[in-house]
């Protein structure tokens, strides 16, 4: 490899004389890099895979883009926070990622009343925290109380207030029974009890709950029941977990007995895509999350394994503001749904790990229905007809005009996923052809948040997604009483707001699978077809590239990872 560099320098040498030095240096590097891209391959990823029997021990070097801002798992809004939280804490239930079914975990069994306002969980009796204290109903109560209400004195925010709306209390009739009560029916609570994404209800020891937010930044004091415990936490750089001795209560559905296989996991934050990919190639890390779409193929060619799961919940959506001109016109909303080429998006932006959205719900959420044959299809002719009929005529610059006002649609989006910007640009290209000027503002998360606060009056479209593997996510996201994603109100022309509220609200009223499916279909019909309040774009995915000797990394129902079952073929 050294000789490669030398020859590339030699090749570059004659040019250096003509070019100024700075450019010359870049040229040398450029040629070295392209030489590098060609000669690599057959890297460490191509090593033998092992014989399939789990090997105990070893350290997994795992890279990802985000970092934990605090080791406290109940507070967190990014992937690193939820992913690491999942491995140091356990939840009451485990949702099967394939079927969506809720299965036992820390709760052996449960029942609920007919109104869906009271949920009774029967807890396992053998579970302990890593400091030796037992896990029991008092712990559940203390956790839920603080999770929902926060603690002003300790500086703990009400992290769970949005997940558990209307929480009244937890009753503890005995040591191993916990009854959780709500003001209103909350069918989605059962799924919430397994929730593994942002601000998750993972159980912390009573001693941890007494700590202030500041004290919880000492990772050694953050105590859970999970298969791993904290060894260290360095903000923005790394979190190190070691295996919990004596752990024996992973979700029965995983069929994993006893402790985790790995001794240690090092989560390294590497913000740059090319550095994550390169580090995997050079063997500095064993696996990485947040694989750039364009790197997937080259990593696979080098012998690395690509594993992925679509994030369950909503797709990446364009939520239309139903009050603001021009998206208050249903013809415009429908034209946008029909006006962009899904094939082109698939070909240029998405990889096999992603898919074009066929509903506002992801395909893995129960109640999902496919709209690719009806409203979510590319039909520019029909889109133009709709616009013509509604009075939108082509202006001199090709952009349509009505009553002297241009068809300019302002979109606010987040640039946290590599796919977002090119995907939106692809749609922008297509919409321009039918006379819609889609203006993109795609910014980092904090700026997005700051702007969402003004979305009602400033933005025609907000583009994001929400991960929650339950059809009630539609109620949370779009109900005028809750998230109100399309800003429905009295001045939303042509929309029966009550109808939307009621139709979506029904998703919280039953846990009967057949009924729920009907309600979910009705909700999707309203959102996608009847009122066209949302244009789903693509289904986001979590993609991991790993060396061949890495096995058993689990994607859960929210596509967060669990490492209890992970092992390395070389045991190192």
Residue 450, by phi and psi: left (phi above 0), alpha (psi -120 to 50) or beta?
A: alpha
Q: Is 292 in the site for another protein (CB under 8 A)?
A: yes
Angle at 192 between CA 450 and CA 259, to 5 degrees: 110
Q: Is 9 in the site for another protein (CB under 8 A)?
A: no
Site for another protein in 449-508 (CB under 8 A): 449-450, 452-454, 464-466, 476-477, 482-485
CA–CA separation, 17 and 14 (whole Å): 6
Site for another protein in 300-339 (CB under 8 A): none
Q: Is 13 in the site for another protein (CB under 8 A)?
A: no
Q: For residue 417, give both structure tokens.
A: 């996923």
Q: Is 361 in the site for another protein (CB under 8 A)?
A: no
Contacting residue, 175, 184, 220, 234, with another protein by CB under 8 A: 234
CA–CA separation, 257 and 537 (whole Å): 41
CA–CA separation, 368 and 10 (whole Å): 59
Q: Is 366 in the site for another protein (CB under 8 A)?
A: no
CA–CA separation, 436 and 445 (whole Å): 26
Question: How far is residue 343 from each of residues 349, 377, 378, 388, measured CA to CA in Å?
Answer: 10, 10, 9, 25
Smallest gap from Cβ 301 to another protein, in A, equals 10
Q: Is 560 in the site for another protein (CB under 8 A)?
A: no
Q: Is 199 in the site for another protein (CB under 8 A)?
A: yes
Smallest gap from Cβ 419 to another protein, in A, equals 10
Nearer to another protein, 260 or 473 (CB): 473
Q: For residue 49, give both structure tokens.
A: 């895979």
Rounded to the nearest 10°, the torsion over CA 43, 49, 50, 54 is 110
Using the rule CB under 8 A, give the single segment among 103-111, 420-428, 524-532, 559-567 that binds another protein.
420-428
Contacting residue, 428, 517, 529, 570, with another protein by CB under 8 A: 428
Asked if residue 326 has a cis previous peptide bond (ω within 30° of 0), the answer is yes
Using the rule CB under 8 A, give the single segment among 161-169, 368-376, 502-510, 555-563 that binds another protein.
161-169
Smallest gap from Cβ 96 to another protein, in A, equals 24
Smallest gap from Cβ 565 to another protein, in A, equals 27
CA–CA separation, 168 and 186 (whole Å): 12
Nearer to another protein, 137 or 279 (CB): 279
Pairing of strands 316-320, 461-464: antiparallel
Smallest gap from Cβ 23 to another protein, in A, equals 5
CB-count exposure of residue 136 (10 Å: 0-12, 13-18, 19+) = buried
Q: Is 518 in the site for another protein (CB under 8 A)?
A: no
Q: Is 534 in the site for another protein (CB under 8 A)?
A: no
Alpha-helical runs (H) found in 150-291:
189-192, 206-209, 273-281
Contacting residue, 49, 55, 157, 390, with another protein by CB under 8 A: 157
The residue among 99, 124, 82, 73 whose CA lies nearest residue 253 is 99
Contacting residue, 125, 248, 282, 372, with another protein by CB under 8 A: 282
The residue among 200, 204, 136, 192 whose CA lies nearest residue 166 is 192
Smallest gap from Cβ 126 to another protein, in A, equals 33
Smallest gap from Cβ 427 to another protein, in A, equals 11
Q: Is 548 in the site for another protein (CB under 8 A)?
A: no
Q: For residue 268, give both structure tokens.
A: 């390294």
Residue positions counted in the chain? 572
**Distance from first CA to last CA of the chain, Å, rounded?**
27
Is there a contact between 206 and 139 (Cβ–Cβ < 8 Å)? yes
CA–CA separation, 62 and 47 (whole Å): 18
The residue among 72, 435, 444, 399 whose CA lies nearest residue 223 is 72
Contacting residue, 55, 206, 213, 300, with another protein by CB under 8 A: 213
Rounded to the nearest 10°, the torsion over CA 462, 467, 470, 476 is -40
Q: Is 263 in the site for another protein (CB under 8 A)?
A: no
Nearer to another protein, 27 or 242 (CB): 27
Site for another protein in 164-193 (CB under 8 A): 165
Q: Is 415 in the site for another protein (CB under 8 A)?
A: yes
Smallest gap from Cβ 27 to another protein, in A, equals 7
CA–CA separation, 312 and 141 (whole Å): 28
Smallest gap from Cβ 236 to another protein, in A, equals 6
Contacting residue, 264, 432, 521, 530, with another protein by CB under 8 A: 432
Site for another protein in 96-155 (CB under 8 A): 150, 152, 155
Q: Is 414 in the site for another protein (CB under 8 A)?
A: yes
Q: Is 257 in the site for another protein (CB under 8 A)?
A: no
Nearer to another protein, 13 or 235 (CB): 235
Size of the site for another protein (CB under 8 A): 105
């Amino acid at each position: 490899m050294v000789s490669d560099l030398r020859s590339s320098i030699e090749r570059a040498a004659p040019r250096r004389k003509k070019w100024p030095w700075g450019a010359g240096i870049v040229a040398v590097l450029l040629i070295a890099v392209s030489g590098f891209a060609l000669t690599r391959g057959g890297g460490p990823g191509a090593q033998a895979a092992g014989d399939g029997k789990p090997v105990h021990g070893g350290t997994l070097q795992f890279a990802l883009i985000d970092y934990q801002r605090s080791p406290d798992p109940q507070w967190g809004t990014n992937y690193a926070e939820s992913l690491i939280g999942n491995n140091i804490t356990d939840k009451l239930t485990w949702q099967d990622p394939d079927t969506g079914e809720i299965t036992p975990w820390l709760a052996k069994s449960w029942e609920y009343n007919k109104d869906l306002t009271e949920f009774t969980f029967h807890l396992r009796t053998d579970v302990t925290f890593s400091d030796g204290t037992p896990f029991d109903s008092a712990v559940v109560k203390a956790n839920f109380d603080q999770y929902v209400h926060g603690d002003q004195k300790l500086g703990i925010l009400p992290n769970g207030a949005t997940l558990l709306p209307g929480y009244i209390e937890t009753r503890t009739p005995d040591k191993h029974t916990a009854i959780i009560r709500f003001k209103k029916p909350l069918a989605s609570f059962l799924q919430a009890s397994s929730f593994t994404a942002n601000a998750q209800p993972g159980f912390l020891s009573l001693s941890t709950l007494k700590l202030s937010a500041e004290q919880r930044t000492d990772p050694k004091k953050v105590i859970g029941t999970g298969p791993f415990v904290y060894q260290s936490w360095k903000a923005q750089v790394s979190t190190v977990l070691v295996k919990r001795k004596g752990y024996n209560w992973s979700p029965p559905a995983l069929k994993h007995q006893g402790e985790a296989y790995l001794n240690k996991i090092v989560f390294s934050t590497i913000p740059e895509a090319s550095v994550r990919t390169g580090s995997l190639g050079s063997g500095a890390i064993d696996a990485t999350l947040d694989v750039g779409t364009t790197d997937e193929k080259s990593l696979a060619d080098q012998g690395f394994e690509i594993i992925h799961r679509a994030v369950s919940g909503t797709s990446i959506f364009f939520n239309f503001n139903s009050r603001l001109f021009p998206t208050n016109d249903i013809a415009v909303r429908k034209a946008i749904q029909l006006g962009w080429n899904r094939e082109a998006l698939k070909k240029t932006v998405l990889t096999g790990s992603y898919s074009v959205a066929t509903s506002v719900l992801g395909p893995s959420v129960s109640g999902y229905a496919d709209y690719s044959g009806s409203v979510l299809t590319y039909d520019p002719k029909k889109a133009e007809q709709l616009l013509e009929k509604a009075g939108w005529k082509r202006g001199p610059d090709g952009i349509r005009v009505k009553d002297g006002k241009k068809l300019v649609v302002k979109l606010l989006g987040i640039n946290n996923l590599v796919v977002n910007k090119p995907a939106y640009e692809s749609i922008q290209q297509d919409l321009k052809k039918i006379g819609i000027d889609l203006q993109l503002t795609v910014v980092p998360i904090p700026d997005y948040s700051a702007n969402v606060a003004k979305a009602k009056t400033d933005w025609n479209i907000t583009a994001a997604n929400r991960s929650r593997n339950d059809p009630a996510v539609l109620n949370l996201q779009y109900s005028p009483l809750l998230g109100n994603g399309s800003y429905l109100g009295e001045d939303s022309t042509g929309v029966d707001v009550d109808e939307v509220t009621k139709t979506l609200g029904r998703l919280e009223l039953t846990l009967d699978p057949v009924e729920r499916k009907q309600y979910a279909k009705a909700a999707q019909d309203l959102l996608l077809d009847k009122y066209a309040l949302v244009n789903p774009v693509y289904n986001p995915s979590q993609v991991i590239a790993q060396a061949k000797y890495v096995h058993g990394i689990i994607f859960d129902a929210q596509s967060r990872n669990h490492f209890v079952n992970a092992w390395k073929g070389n045991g190192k």
